[in-house]
Chains A and B, each alone.
Chain A
Amino acid sequence: MPRKLPSKDVVIVGLGWAGSIMAQELTEAGLEVVAIERGPWRDAATEFASNYVQDELRYGVRRELDLRPEQATFTFRNKMSEMALPIRDWGAFMPANGVGGGGVTWNGATWRFLPSDFTLKTHLVQRYGAGFLPKDITISDWGVTYDELEPFYDRFEYLCGASGAAGNLNGQILEGGNPFEGARSRPYPNPPMQQPFSQALFAKAAANLGYKPFPKPSGVMSQAYVNPLGVRLGPCAYCGFCESYGCGNQSKASPQTTILPVLIRKANFTARANSEATRINLDKSGKRAVSVTYIDASGEELEQPADLVILAADTLFNVQLLLLSGIGKPYDPIANEGVIGRNFTHKTTSDVLGFFDKARFNFNPFVGSGGAGMCIDEFNGDNFDHGPHGFVGGGVIGQMQSGAPPIRTNAVPPGAPRWGAQWKQALRDNYLSTVTPGLGVQGGFYAYRDIYLDLDPTYRDRLGRPLLRLTIDFHENELKQNKFLTDRFADIVKAMGAEKVVMQARKGPYDITKFQTNDLSGGAIMGDNPQSSAVNRYLQSWNAPNLFVMGASAFPQNAGYSPTATLAALAFWTAKAIREKYLQNPGALIHA
């Protein structure tokens, strides 16, 4: 029997972005909050010290800050007819671990999704007709609109000190920003980051081709900033060690550098690190969550009762905990029934490499920031007429010079050998004069009936629990989309003056060893009815109204951007609904 702890008002599972925002907002409302975090406590200035964090082997290759598969992993297969095998080491994605979650190791991209992304199904059917969509696509509207979320995107951008150029300020299209973005109520709190050579060249070439390039919105500081909570962030030094590294310079927005210094001082907040939630317990009626069982580092099992349970453990772990806890009906792709595990998606990313004449071009690729980038949005979402192209969806395209640590920055022109004197010479000749955008095509990934999550029948974790099983493959729609976007990107790289261009369009089958981003979504999606969604528009469980499931697991399908700002905006949106509606009258906020 687990040892039962004194009850709290709120228990939060996972102290990443969503968990930290919920903790901040709910402690402000006077509630007593405890957060249970699987990984260790991490302090930015000491753990990511600037005198040793620039270590590619340790953080970039061995990925010390990420979760260890030994502690929790998944099984994977492309098709329902295949046997899933365990992911023994990370490849296609790398789950975060510890306080701050993915907010520690991210690149800081603070994209807002497009207004049409939130009403996707309605929008596409209206514009193209239902017959234009792939047969087995299961996309849906979110149940929340861009306009409803706008104030919360704004909250997140000011929390983070996001830098960028507004493209649409209250409906007025502004030069230099993204003309396709939804209307924003305020400019970014900080000006765009500085542009290294490759990005300036990209912008010039894109503009010459008739596109409207704009700086990537960035949660990495373009200048010193004090956020609304009074927490100070410092200007980015463009050190070139960003994604998969922590920032000890307080320059990359993370829960550590924006919320936790304030949150942790509150008498009504407690964090428990190195503590892994294993189950959300329901009462006898099955309609109320009563507690969270977790196991601490000693192996002791504890039970934390609470009136309100916030599940914020990241997409896959949210879904796994719901399935292991028997909350919601598991999705069955054959019957097309059930909700937990459906509409699982990832991204469709690709790259274009540009090899330039070394006598004329030196990009100093090691200078960079995860937040830096120049992008175009002409081919994202439904920003262009898909009629002639035979697919739906799209993505942002951009040149993002985020640094060039040399173990993994090793592109040589086509035809060069992979070892020996000629390889050595090719590397020497090309390191400084090659543009390697770092997944410059960030394509979306729509939902399909046969892409889903469930529990694996064979493999188990160290606690004896079934692993979560990923069944995922690319559909023709996404591969067509990626080919189209990669070609458009290559046109720009050629126009930049590259002598040789290598297009690395994404090919099927989906490969668990090839990195795609950490932007997994779906599995516990939001929607307007309990037959096809796990949570309502406030991310409240249809089954247990005192359970809220945060994060990208709620996205009905993925868009052509990084998800962080959207999942953070949803957290602020949910927190407001809890504070202003739920607490007055605890129960279902939507009656289906």
Chain B
Amino acid sequence: MFISRRDLLASTGFLLGGLTARATTISGALPWRPNAGSPPEPAQPGPWLYLTLAEAAAVEALADRIIPPDSDTPGGKEAGCAVYIDRQLAGPYGRRAGFYLRPPFLPGGAQQGPQAETGPAQQYRAGLAALDRLCRSQRRGMPFVALPDAEKDEILAQMESGGDGAEAQAFFELILKDVREGFFADPIYGGNRNMVGWRMIGFPGARYDYRDWVGRHNENYPLPPVAIMGRSDWILR
């Protein structure tokens, strides 16, 4: 086997396309080394990484109205959607790593795709601040988190319909997408705690082999979901 990396690259990686990549010449045999591959990096527990305490409280409240708790399934807050969003905003997603971000930033048709200069991290900061101003000015000086559910829903509906302007509407679409993602992404990213989103709809998760089930038509799949890191009842107590 012969794998040569260029001498000048031997000591350090080089940033290209947002990823550390090395020019590699491959010949003679398939490159193979033990423990190769790139498993996902789990979101770590602990304090908020991007959101302020007040912002995090607002995101939790928003998540809990987008996906309210009911008798069968926890809501967005308990499912960890705000943790998911916080970790995503602190990471590559928040700064749109890998996107084409060269100027000029010009307005175009909707069919030409987003042309904004700012990414999700800044959109959350601005969007949550605007939401806070809106609530305090129109709702008896109270922040979003302190409002009764019915009033929270009124505000969300107003944002969704564009009644609070295009920016509020865009922020609503962003948070709707992210809360849902947090509810259904693998728990390794901080949301979908205990796979509650998957249990709710009947998705068995990161299972692997359904050969026995392809041909079993119209039968309920019996096994509980499993995540990339396994399942809490796999842990020896």
- Contact A260-B30, Cβ < 8 Å, known A46-B36, A406-B203: yes
Asked whether, in the complex, the Cβ of A419 is within 8 Å of the Cβ of B176, the reply is yes
- Contact A297-B36, Cβ < 8 Å, known A238-B213, A512-B113: no
In this assembly, does B138 line the interface, its C-beta being within 8 Å of a C-beta of chain A? no
Instruction: Other than A419-B176, A431-B203, give 15 A-B pairs with Cβ distance below 8 A.
Output: A40-B24, A43-B31, A49-B39, A52-B39, A54-B207, A55-B206, A56-B186, A57-B189, A76-B113, A271-B25, A428-B72, A428-B200, A432-B201, A509-B109, A512-B113
Asked whether, in the complex, the Cβ of A61 is within 8 Å of the Cβ of B28, the reply is no
Report which of B26, B200, B218 forms a contact with A273, defined as CB distance below 8 A: B26
Report which of B25, B104, B209 forms a contact with A270, defined as CB distance below 8 A: B25
- Contact A197-B217, Cβ < 8 Å, known A424-B70, A428-B200: yes
Restricting to A80-111, which residues have a CB under 8 Å from any CB of B? 82-89, 91
Of the listed stretches A174-182, A316-324, A358-366, A538-546, name the one at the interface; the rest are far from the partner chain.
A358-366
Restricting to B174-211, which residues have a CB under 8 Å from any CB of A? 176, 180-181, 184-186, 188-189, 197-198, 200-211
- Contact A88-B67, Cβ < 8 Å, known A239-B210, A267-B28: no
A residues in contact with B211, CB < 8 Å: 194, 235-238
In this assembly, does B29 line the interface, its C-beta being within 8 Å of a C-beta of chain A? yes
Asked whether, in the complex, the Cβ of A296 is within 8 Å of the Cβ of B6, the reply is yes
B residues in contact with A361, CB < 8 Å: 218
**Residue contacts A-B, CB under 8 angstroms, 5 given:** A76-B112, A86-B100, A88-B96, A91-B113, A297-B16
C-alpha spacing A511/B112, complex, angstroms? 7
Which range contains the number of B residues in contact with the other chain?
35 or more
In this assembly, does A391 line the interface, its C-beta being within 8 Å of a C-beta of chain B? no
C-alpha spacing A366/B16, complex, angstroms? 36
> In this complex, which of B29, B72, B218 has the most chain A Cβ atoms within 10 angstroms of its Cβ?
B218
Restricting to A49-85, which residues have a CB under 8 Å from any CB of B? 49-52, 54-58, 61-62, 67-71, 73, 76-78, 82-85
Asked whether, in the complex, the Cβ of B14 is within 8 Å of the Cβ of A431, the reply is no
C-alpha spacing A195/B214, complex, angstroms? 6
Asked whether, in the complex, the Cβ of B29 is within 8 Å of the Cβ of A264, the reply is yes
In this assembly, does A185 line the interface, its C-beta being within 8 Å of a C-beta of chain B? no
- Contact A274-B40, Cβ < 8 Å, known A407-B184, A459-B102: no
Asked whether, in the complex, the Cβ of B23 is within 8 Å of the Cβ of A58, the reply is no
C-alpha spacing A240/B204, complex, angstroms? 11
Report which of B17, B114, B156, B206 forms a contact with A71, defined as CB distance below 8 A: B17
C-alpha spacing A62/B41, complex, angstroms? 14
Asked whether, in the complex, the Cβ of A239 is within 8 Å of the Cβ of B27, the reply is no
In this assembly, does A418 line the interface, its C-beta being within 8 Å of a C-beta of chain B? yes
Asked whether, in the complex, the Cβ of A418 is within 8 Å of the Cβ of B25, the reply is no
Asked whether, in the complex, the Cβ of A58 is within 8 Å of the Cβ of B218, the reply is no
In this assembly, does B148 line the interface, its C-beta being within 8 Å of a C-beta of chain A? no
Nearest CB of B to A460, in Å: 7
> In this complex, which of B9, B30, B101 has the most chain A Cβ atoms within 10 angstroms of its Cβ?
B30
Asked whether, in the complex, the Cβ of B27 is within 8 Å of the Cβ of A271, the reply is yes
C-alpha spacing A70/B99, complex, angstroms? 5
- Contact A68-B31, Cβ < 8 Å, known A57-B185, A424-B68: no
Nearest CB of A to B90, in Å: 15
A residues in contact with B26, CB < 8 Å: 41, 264, 270-273
In this assembly, does A421 line the interface, its C-beta being within 8 Å of a C-beta of chain B? yes
- Ordered nearest first, which 10 A-B pairs have the shortest CB separation? A296-B23, A71-B17, A68-B98, A431-B201, A197-B217, A54-B206, A69-B100, A511-B111, A57-B185, A406-B184
B residues in contact with A195, CB < 8 Å: 214-215
Asked whether, in the complex, the Cβ of B201 is within 8 Å of the Cβ of A237, the reply is no
- Contact A54-B228, Cβ < 8 Å, known A364-B221, A512-B112: yes
> In this complex, which of B19, B23, B73, B198 has the most chain A Cβ atoms within 10 angstroms of its Cβ?
B23
C-alpha spacing A298/B10, complex, angstroms? 11
Nearest CB of A to B67, in Å: 6
Asked whether, in the complex, the Cβ of B25 is within 8 Å of the Cβ of A237, the reply is no
In this assembly, does B235 line the interface, its C-beta being within 8 Å of a C-beta of chain A? no
Asked whether, in the complex, the Cβ of B214 is within 8 Å of the Cβ of A424, the reply is no
A residues in contact with B32, CB < 8 Å: 43, 46
Closest Cβ neighbor of A40 among chain B residues: B21
Closest Cβ neighbor of A510 among chain B residues: B111
In this assembly, does A269 line the interface, its C-beta being within 8 Å of a C-beta of chain B? yes
- Contact A85-B112, Cβ < 8 Å, known A264-B28, A298-B6: yes
Which DSSP category, helix, strand, loop or mixed, fits chain B's interface? loop
Restricting to B23-78, which residues have a CB under 8 Å from any CB of A? 23-32, 36-40, 65-68, 70, 72-73
B residues in contact with A147, CB < 8 Å: none
C-alpha spacing A278/B140, complex, angstroms? 61
A residues in contact with B156, CB < 8 Å: 419
Asked whether, in the complex, the Cβ of A424 is within 8 Å of the Cβ of B200, the reply is yes
Nearest CB of A to B155, in Å: 12
Restricting to A289-329, which residues have a CB under 8 Å from any CB of B? 296-300
In this assembly, does A265 line the interface, its C-beta being within 8 Å of a C-beta of chain B? yes
Closest Cβ neighbor of A78 among chain B residues: B111
In this assembly, does A487 line the interface, its C-beta being within 8 Å of a C-beta of chain B? no
Report which of B29, B66, B99, B201 forms a contact with A420, defined as CB distance below 8 A: B66
Asked whether, in the complex, the Cβ of B19 is within 8 Å of the Cβ of A68, the reply is yes
A residues in contact with B36, CB < 8 Å: 43, 46-47
B residues in contact with A298, CB < 8 Å: 6, 8-9, 14, 23
Closest Cβ neighbor of B75 among chain A residues: A424
In this assembly, does A170 line the interface, its C-beta being within 8 Å of a C-beta of chain B? no
Asked whether, in the complex, the Cβ of A407 is within 8 Å of the Cβ of B112, the reply is no
Report which of B210, B218, B219 forms a contact with A237, defined as CB distance below 8 A: B210
Report which of A87, A197, A296, A510 forms a contact with B218, defined as CB distance below 8 A: A197
B residues in contact with A41, CB < 8 Å: 24, 26, 31
A residues in contact with B206, CB < 8 Å: 52, 54-55
> Hey, what's the 0/1 contact readout for B147-161 against A, CB within 8 Å counting as 1?
000000100100010
A residues in contact with B17, CB < 8 Å: 67-68, 70-71
B residues in contact with A404, CB < 8 Å: 203
Asked whether, in the complex, the Cβ of A299 is within 8 Å of the Cβ of B228, the reply is no
Asked whether, in the complex, the Cβ of B214 is within 8 Å of the Cβ of A410, the reply is no
Asked whether, in the complex, the Cβ of A194 is within 8 Å of the Cβ of B203, the reply is no
In this assembly, does A144 line the interface, its C-beta being within 8 Å of a C-beta of chain B? no
A residues in contact with B9, CB < 8 Å: 297-298
Report which of A83, A366, A511 forms a contact with B203, defined as CB distance below 8 A: A366
Asked whether, in the complex, the Cβ of A407 is within 8 Å of the Cβ of B23, the reply is no
- Contact A88-B180, Cβ < 8 Å, known A54-B207, A54-B208, A273-B23: no
A residues in contact with B176, CB < 8 Å: 418-419
Restricting to A389-423, which residues have a CB under 8 Å from any CB of B? 404-407, 410, 418-421
C-alpha spacing A218/B61, complex, angstroms? 46
In this assembly, does B136 line the interface, its C-beta being within 8 Å of a C-beta of chain A? no
Asked whether, in the complex, the Cβ of B67 is within 8 Å of the Cβ of A424, the reply is yes
> In this complex, which of B16, B36, B186 has the most chain A Cβ atoms within 10 angstroms of its Cβ?
B16
Asked whether, in the complex, the Cβ of B215 is within 8 Å of the Cβ of A274, the reply is no
